Amino acid sequence: MDKLDVMRLLARIVERGSFSAAAVDLGLPRSTVTEAIKQLEARLGVRLLDRTTRHVSPTLDGEAYYRRCLAILAEVEDAEGSFSDRKPRGLLRIDVHGRMFRQIILPALPDFLTRYPEIALRIGEGDRLVDLVREGVDCVVRAGTPADSGMIVRRLGLLRETTVASPDYLARHGTPRTPNDLAGHEMIGFLSSATGDVLPLEFTRDGQVEIKLPCRFTVTASETTVALARLGYGLLQVPRYGVEADLASGTLVEVLPDFPPSPTPVSALYPQSRQLSPRVRVFVDWVIQVFRPYQG
């Protein structure tokens, strides 16, 4: 293992907080990883990593060396990319909400795979916040306003939101004409992974109004909220692209169309340390084009 390989290995261990996870990520035997770091520490004459039974973290010297490694590896990748016609290759780990992936990204994915045949994708699906560095994720695509997390943020577009309910629910509770008619109504609560609170319903027209209604269900998975709405358990606000088929078939009905929720931004986020990765760069540039219909 040459010096650059050892630098990549150390960086992955620090980011993953684990020898075993880094070994899996890089396709190396655990024993090889352990021995390489042992030899590196012996050559430098310092201890780079503090090890416990559950976690690995850098020492002060290790943190300084890790930062230098990132800078060196970024320069090497950038230099090689500038003078090589070879396309990016290797494993790209992304995380994206499942419905967004299946309905927006997946139909266009054959184009990406044709352009970059040497890139393999590991796709995680979720609504929760992801610690990209600790979980070894290269890039996430998320709806909502990103927190100031130190990540690189690329805006992809805006998702139109809509308020929906089932015909059965509206038959029982009535169809509101304005937000002032929502007394006696219920909503399906979606728990924010960022705050742990139920997100209110939002209505815009002349200004913005937020309303929290009683809810029998509070859930953390957006797919479940749509299923509950179809069953008549309350009003729901979701990105419109996710319920177009329901609206067309009549299983869900749009409510208060003259008071739409404000659109939700969607962004690609990736760690500062991966900003020059050719795999991340080409994926982000490509996914920006995929979301072009949502950039108006």
pLDDT, tens digit (0-9, with 9 covering 90-100), for 118-164 = 898 989 887 666 666 667 688 889 888 776 567 788 999 999 999 99
Buried b / exposed e along 6-44 (16+ C-beta atoms within 10 A) = bbbbbbbbbbbbbbebbbebbebeeeebeebbeebbeee
What is the pTM assigned to this prediction? 0.71
- Cα–Cα distance between 216 and 219 in angstroms, integer? 10
The pair of structure tokens assigned to 6 is: 């050892």
Residue 145: what pLDDT? 76
Enumerate the CATH 3.40.190.10 domain ranges in the chain, comma separated. Answer: 90-158+265-294, 161-262
pLDDT band per the 50, 70, 90 thresholds, residue 295: confident
pLDDT, tens digit (0-9, with 9 covering 90-100), for 75-134 = 787 676 666 667 788 888 899 988 899 999 999 999 999 999 989 898 988 766 666 666
Give me the architecture of the 90-158+265-294 domain, per CATH.
3-Layer(aba) Sandwich (3.40)
| Contacts made by residues 173-179, CB under 8 angstroms, sequence distance 24+ | 175/255, 176/255, 176/256, 177/256, 178/256, 178/259, 179/203, 179/209, 179/211, 179/256, 179/259
CATH number for 3-82 (one of 1.10.10.10, 1.10.3720.10, 3.40.50.880, 1.10.150.120): it is 1.10.10.10
Question: DSSP secondary-structure letter at 266?
Answer: E
For the residues 30-59, what does the mean pLDDT come to?
A: 92
Give me the architecture of the 161-262 domain, per CATH.
3-Layer(aba) Sandwich (3.40)
pLDDT of residue 225 exceeding 90, the answer is yes
Q: Which residue has the higher pLDDT, 144 or 59?
A: 59
